Structure 1
Amino acid sequence: MSQTRLLALVGSLRAASINRRLAEAAATTAPEGVAVEIYDGLADIPFYNEDLDVAGEVPPAAQALREAVAAADGLLLVTPEYNGTLPAVLKNAIDWASRPYAAGAIKGKPVAVVSASISSNAAKWSHGDAVKALGVAGAEVVEDGSLNFGGIGQRFGETHPADDAEALTQLAATVRLLADAAAVKATA
């Protein structure tokens, strides 16, 4: 049996962000036969511009993202909420991965979205915007894999999410659902 490869895209660029720590914790919950890799390099990708998206001339950072998304069996998006919406870096990643139109690396890819914010809203607006952008891009959102964390400043400010049993249980369920969706997709 081959290993299921999940790629985590984190919408916060801060090295010590709680969203990044949630992705790290999710990676530790991966069941046997599943690997979760956190993608580094979103900060290096230029904003999507069709003038840059020319065969053989795609910026190397954007091409690397496309290749990583294409090689993954599923995607785990972990997003904070910036001014009530999706961070630009994550939306930009979706834009690059969705091209060429109707044939991008993200098309048909199972995706689960985890959102987290300091507010009690739990980044649900960002989550909704991510789901919308992913759907338009042709990804297959694993709705049952949705996960929202609110009040993360208090909950995870002093401790890593990997030390929170409830968070680990929730993240493990999301990773499992995403891995199962990827496995079904691979056999279809």
Structure 2
Amino acid sequence: MATPTSRESSEMKEWHLKGQALEMDWVKALDVADAMSCFEESRKEHPLKVLVLYGSLRTTSYSKLLACEFARILERLGADVRMYNPAGLPVKDDVSENHPKVVELRALSQWSEAHVWCCPEQHGTITAVFKNQIDWIPLSLGSVRPSQGRTLAVAQVNGGSQSFNTVNTLRILGRWMRMITIPNQSSVPKAWTEFDSTGRMKAGSLRDRVVDVAEELYKFSMLLRDHSAFLVDRYSERKEKQEKGRLLSQAEKEAEKKTDVAATG
């Protein structure tokens, strides 16, 4: 599949740094050679394709700042990273499938091999902004499953004390989307104290954990991506393809049930 176009998929991506900010970038100094060592040839021939999603439209969005740090670290590891901007994405309905923001999001999901989900905690759970993005990624588009078999890393930011409500919810979503969620995760309490005035994460154990999560996602993804189709292959789907010629959409299955009920009624 061709690389999807995106406002943030241009040559100068939003998380890229320039000038003095680039010279002082802590990510450049990371010793990640061990994480890349087992995948040198594969990394050069086929960089890992990572989609990063965040869950806030605020001008100062700490989930977006955290997402940008993940993007920088993953690029340092050799990944090809895309970040989706949720601004302008319509609320999920049954008439907006051809909206440019919906088309862009679905294309990025199909293109990707791994995801990073960064979401703020709002009222003890994920935000509507984030859930709306997942709602627009269907479990199937014809016979294509846009998220099945992708690896996933989850992270959250909190306005107050540390919580794991959001990452736990994100794990449930990842399972429902048939993704392989890595064991490690990141939760950043009092996020407003963990980023400096330039939007960069301050040195400390919370930043180290973010690097840990990015490395782990990279390792799991590189190990599993060539085997993901085998790992998620299901007897029920093979049977459906044999009987129907392809995987049916949920709407087609419901229509088939109604036809069967009418025929036997």
Q: For residues 117-136 of structure 1, what are the structure 2 equivalents within 5 Å?
A: 117-122=158-163, 124-136=164-176
Greater fraction of residues in strand: 1
Deviation for aligned residue 1:113: 0.4
SS at 1:171 equivalent: helix
Do the aligned residues in 1 keep the contact of 2:156 with 2:167 (CA within 8 Å)? yes
- Give TM-score, length-normalised by structure 1: 0.84
**Which residue of 190, 193, 214 maps to 1:175?**
214
Aligned residue for 2:203? 164
Do the aligned residues in 1 keep the contact of 2:52 with 2:67 (CA within 8 Å)? yes
Is 1:52 aligned to residue 92 of structure 2? no
**Structure 2: how far apart are the matches of 1:15 and 1:180?**
33
Do the aligned residues in 2 keep the contact of 1:76 with 1:111 (CA within 8 Å)? yes
**Structure 1: how far apart are the matches of 2:203 and 2:80?**
21
Do the aligned residues in 1 keep the contact of 2:195 with 2:202 (CA within 8 Å)? no
Bigger shift: residues 12-21 or 95-104 = 95-104
**Structure 2: how far apart are the matches of 1:126 and 1:157?**
24
**Structure 1: how far apart are the matches of 2:91 and 2:224?**
30
1:53-107 deviation per Cα after TM superposition (whole angstroms, max 9, x unaligned): 7xxx532211110111111110000010111111111111112113437953112
Greater Rg over alpha carbons, structure? 2
**Structure 2: how far apart are the matches of 1:37 and 1:163?**
24
Which aligned runs of 4 or more in structure 1 are off by greater than 4 angstroms? none
Deviation for aligned residue 1:32: 3.4
Calculate percent identity across the aligned residue pairs.
21
Is 1:110 aligned to residue 151 of structure 2? yes
CA separation of 1:25 and 1:17: change in aligned 2, threshold 3 A: same
What residue identity is the alignment partner of 1:3? P
Bigger shift: residues 104-113 or 23-32 = 23-32
Is 1:21 aligned to residue 65 of structure 2? yes
Deviation for aligned residue 1:12: 1.2
Q: Which runs of 5+ in 1 are unaligned?
A: none
RMSD of Structure 2 on Structure 1 (CA): 2.2
Do the aligned residues in 1 keep the contact of 2:196 with 2:202 (CA within 8 Å)? no
Deviation for aligned residue 1:157: 6.1
Bigger relative contact order (CA 8 A; separation at least 6): 1
Deviation for aligned residue 1:156: 2.6
What residue identity is the alignment partner of 2:79? V
Bigger shift: residues 153-162 or 20-29 = 153-162
**Structure 1: how far apart are the matches of 2:70 and 2:209?**
9
**Which residue of 39, 50, 54 maps to 2:84?**
39
SS at 1:44 equivalent: coil
1:8-48 deviation per Cα after TM superposition (whole angstroms, max 9, x unaligned): 101112243111111112222223322333222x1222222
Deviation for aligned residue 1:159: 6.1
Is 1:64 aligned to residue 104 of structure 2? yes
Do the aligned residues in 2 keep the contact of 1:80 with 1:86 (CA within 8 Å)? yes
What residue identity is the alignment partner of 1:97? I
Q: Which runs of 5+ in 2 are unaligned?
A: 1-44, 228-265
Q: How many residues align?
A: 181
- Give TM-score, length-normalised by structure 2: 0.62
Do the aligned residues in 2 keep the contact of 1:161 with 1:168 (CA within 8 Å)? no
